[in-house]
């Protein structure tokens, strides 16, 4: 875009001869204006829908913001009260810990299984296309639907999973997948892994296709076995894609709300409470928007760190 403007703006400048500086600066100003005009809609959009709410959210976390605020417009500033209240709450520490386990557990599971499937489908075999598209299904189902579905599957008494496990005599008694605080977080992670596998598989599969066949063949000729090939050739060449998959996966996982609400509502006894569900409960169930904003801001901050990592990784990928 800028080069196009340059070309049209440049010729008149030398032709003006007598007063090149003024004419040049006039054209330059027009060029800058034109550039800004192109950027303006995006900037305006960003300000309206991203910066404004973000700043509001930060300000809100220092205010006493209640339902009454919507009527009176008054939200007195209370300093660090909201932050203190949230950070001193045991539930916040628990949510933070659960969020960490949930995110890392989900990522690890999704990535390993997604990678395994991507490698598997790299071979050519009949019906691989059909199987690959079937594997995409979990990705297409809305989270709430997946959550509701799995809640039925995992029900301690009437769930299909326990029925199958007991039928095959793999377990003696019904496993309280969602009804025991000891199992609930694990179950939620497993369901989220199921949902995330397709995303990892598709992106990694795409990355694998980019690796030139000759390199692999050369490695085979050199006598490298499967694992050697994978760790010394495939994985290093896949590194930019892996970074992108993990960082994007992290950002979408850390804020997951709907899946957990549909599966366990954060329970039992807060065993699956994450930062996402915690901010939802503070804001929309307790209607304490100020404290909800605090947790929301922390979540945004965490995501932002990884967004920066993502941008850096992406730039590396592009310049490569």
Partner 1 sequence: MRHRLSRPPRGAAAAAAAVALVCAGCAAEPDPDVYTIMNSATDEPYHSWDDEVMAECGAQAGVEVRQQSVPADQLVPKALRMASSHSLPDVLVLDGSDMPQFADPGGLVPLAELGMPPDELSDGARSFGSYDGTYYGAARSVNSLGLFYNEDMLADAGVEPPQTWDELRETAAELTEGDRYGLAISALSTEDGVYQFLPWLWSNGGDERRLDEPEAVEALEFVSSLIDDGSASRSAVNWTQADVNDQFVAGNTAMMINGPWQKPVLDEHPDVDWGVVEVPVPEEGADPVAPIGGTTFTVPANSRNPEREQVAGELVTCLTASDAQLEWSTKANNVPVAPQAAEEYREQVPELAAFADQVETARSRTEHVGTDYSVYSQAIGTAVQAALTGEATPEQALTRAQSQVEQELRSRP
**Interface contacts to partner 1, rule CB under 8 A:** 44, 47-49, 52-54, 56-57, 60, 64, 66-73, 75-76, 78, 81-82, 84-85, 89, 151, 155-158, 176, 178-181, 264-271, 279-281, 283-289, 291-293, 296
Minimum separation from the CB atom of position 111 to partner 1 (A): 28
Q: Which is nearer to partner 1, 169 or 319 (CB)?
A: 169
Minimum separation from the CB atom of position 169 to partner 1 (A): 17
Minimum separation from the CB atom of position 124 to partner 1 (A): 44
Kindly list the distances between the CA atom of residue 50 and the CA atoms of 56, 58, 208, 304, in Å, as whole numbers in the listed order. 10, 12, 35, 13
Q: Which is nearer to partner 1, 65 or 310 (CB)?
A: 65
Q: Which is nearer to partner 1, 147 or 249 (CB)?
A: 147
Q: Which is nearer to partner 1, 106 or 281 (CB)?
A: 281
The packing angle between helices 20-46 and 2-9, to 10°, is 160
Rounded Cα gap, residues 97 and 145, in angstroms: 26
Residues 6+ apart with CB under 8 A from 295: 86, 92, 95, 275, 278, 279, 282
Instruction: Output the six-digit token pair for 257.
Output: 């709300």
Minimum separation from the CB atom of position 84 to partner 1 (A): 8
Rounded Cα gap, residues 68 and 75, in angstroms: 9
What three-state secondary structure class fits 63?
strand
Residues 6+ apart with CB under 8 A from 183: 175, 176, 177
Q: Which is nearer to partner 1, 252 or 314 (CB)?
A: 252
Minimum separation from the CB atom of position 255 to partner 1 (A): 10
Minimum separation from the CB atom of position 139 to partner 1 (A): 22
**C-beta separation of 286 from 277 below 8 A:** no
Q: Which is nearer to partner 1, 39 or 269 (CB)?
A: 269
* The three-state (H, E, C) secondary structure of 145-201, written as one string: HHHHHHHHHCCCCCCHHHHHHHHCCCCCCCCCCCCCHHHHHHHHHHHHHHHHHHHHH
Q: Which is nearer to partner 1, 99 or 291 (CB)?
A: 291
**C-beta separation of 249 from 200 below 8 A:** yes
Minimum separation from the CB atom of position 168 to partner 1 (A): 18
């Amino acid at each position: 875009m800028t080069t196009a403007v340059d070309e049209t703006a440049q010729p008149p400048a030398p032709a003006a001869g007598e007063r090149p500086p003024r004419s040049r600066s006039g054209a330059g100003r027009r060029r800058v204006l034109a550039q800004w005009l192109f950027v303006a809609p995006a900037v305006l959009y960003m300000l309206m829908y991203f910066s404004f709410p973000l700043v509001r959210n930060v300000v809100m976390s220092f205010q006493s913001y209640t339902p009454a605020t919507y009527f009176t417009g008054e939200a007195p500033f209370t300093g660090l009260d909201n932050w203190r209240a949230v950070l001193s709450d045991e539930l916040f520490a628990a949510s933070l810990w659960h969020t960490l386990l949930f995110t890392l557990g989900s990522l690890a599971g999704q990535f390993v299984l997604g990678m395994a499937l991507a490698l598997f489908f790299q071979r050519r075999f009949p019906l691989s296309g059909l199987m690959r598209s079937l594997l995409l299904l979990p990705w297409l189902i809305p989270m709430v639907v997946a959550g509701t579905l799995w809640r039925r599957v995992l029900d301690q008494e009437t769930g299909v999973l326990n029925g199958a496990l007991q039928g095959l005599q793999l377990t003696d008694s019904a496993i309280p997948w969602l009804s025991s605080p000891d199992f609930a977080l694990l179950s939620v992670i497993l369901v989220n892994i199921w949902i995330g596998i397709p995303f990892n598989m598709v992106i990694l599969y795409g990355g694998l296709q980019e690796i030139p066949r000759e390199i692999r063949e050369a490695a085979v000729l050199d006598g490298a076995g499967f694992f050697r090939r994978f760790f010394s050739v495939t994985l290093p060449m896949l590194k930019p894609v892996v970074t992108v998959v993990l960082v994007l996966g992290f950002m979408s996982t850390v804020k997951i709300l709907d899946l957990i609400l549909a599966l366990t509502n954060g329970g039992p006894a807060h065993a699956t409470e994450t930062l996402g569900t915690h901010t939802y409960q503070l804001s929309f169930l307790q209607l304490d928007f100020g404290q909800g904003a605090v947790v929301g801001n922390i979540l945004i901050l965490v995501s932002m760190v990884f967004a920066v990592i993502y941008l850096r990784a992406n730039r590396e990928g592009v310049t490569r």
